[in-house]
Amino acid sequence: MQKLPLNLVVPFILFATSSRLVFAVTLSTGIDEVANLPYWEIKGDGMTLRLVQRLPDQSRGFAMARGFTPEQAEVFAQSCAFQTVFKNISNLTTPGTLNYNLRDWIIYYQDKKRGMKTREDWEKTWPPGQVKPAAQLALNWGLYPTVQSYKPGDYNWGLSTFNLKPGAMFDLRVVWHQYDKQHEFVIHDVQCAPDIHPDPDDIN
């Protein structure tokens, strides 16, 4: 096998590690250290996105505490919510604004394509007057922004909802824009949290 000349190899490696070439989008999964629930995280050039399962009971509790009726809280609890964190981690020396629109993201579930349930969709579920104003405000601001623009260092936390049954497994096509270029990545086998009602005897 022919040896590559070192005077070519060294500059190439340095270039690759200091440029965008090294940033293929990567996926990692595991257990979120804070929530103690499964997460799916993608990391690309200047961005990270983490989806952390959220138990229906957590969503139920959030909604009840904000003033939703038990029936309304149940609808929200069954909507397959994920704690979502999207960050712009671009280098400050080459700043890049990052944009996304949740309406561009596609859910693949049982051979069908569908969109996410956004803030605007929830407003259709509960138009003003059908829920307490404080509850409406909390839901609106608790949900992940439908459209957002992040400069370096910016990020949001929020709930994204997929309107699938607890335990459902799906693929998600994530789309974002950076450096005037569209990026996308499909996360396979994302799973909604199951609706667990622990038996009191199971709790130590």
> Which residues contact residue 42 at a Cβ distance below 8 angstroms, ignoring those fewer than 6 apart?
25, 26, 27, 28, 48, 49, 174, 185, 187
Residue 8 touches other proteins, criterion: CB under 8 A: no
Choose, by CB under 8 A, the member of 38, 99, 121, 158 that binds other proteins: 158
Residue 96 touches other proteins, criterion: CB under 8 A: no
Choose, by CB under 8 A, the member of 1, 6, 8, 203 that binds other proteins: 6
For other proteins, give the closer residue by CB, 56 or 96. Answer: 96
Residue 145 touches other proteins, criterion: CB under 8 A: yes
For other proteins, give the closer residue by CB, 78 or 83. Answer: 83
> Which residues contact residue 103 at a Cβ distance below 8 angstroms, ignoring those fewer than 6 apart?
115, 116, 118, 146, 147
Choose, by CB under 8 A, the member of 38, 115, 142, 166 that binds other proteins: 142
Q: Which stretch binds other proteins (CB under 8 A): 68-76, 104-112, 142-150, 195-203?
A: 142-150
For other proteins, give the closer residue by CB, 109 or 161. Answer: 161
Residue 153 touches other proteins, criterion: CB under 8 A: yes
> Which residues contact residue 52 at a Cβ distance below 8 angstroms, ignoring those fewer than 6 apart?
32, 35, 37, 38, 39, 82, 83, 84, 85
For other proteins, give the closer residue by CB, 115 or 152. Answer: 152
Residue 137 touches other proteins, criterion: CB under 8 A: yes
Residue 157 touches other proteins, criterion: CB under 8 A: yes
The distance of closest approach from Cβ of residue 148 to other proteins in the complex, given in angstroms and rounded to an integer, is 6
CB burial string 61-96: b at 16+ within 10 A, e below:
ebbbebbbeeebbbbbbbbbbbbbbbbbbbeeeeeb
Choose, by CB under 8 A, the member of 27, 134, 169, 186 that binds other proteins: 134
Distance CA 184, CA 46 (A): 14
Cα distances (angstroms) measured from residue 164 to each of 42, 76, 107, 152: 22, 11, 10, 33
Residues that bind other proteins (CB under 8 A): 6, 9-10, 13-14, 17-18, 48, 62, 65-66, 87, 89-92, 133-134, 137-138, 140-142, 144-148, 150-158
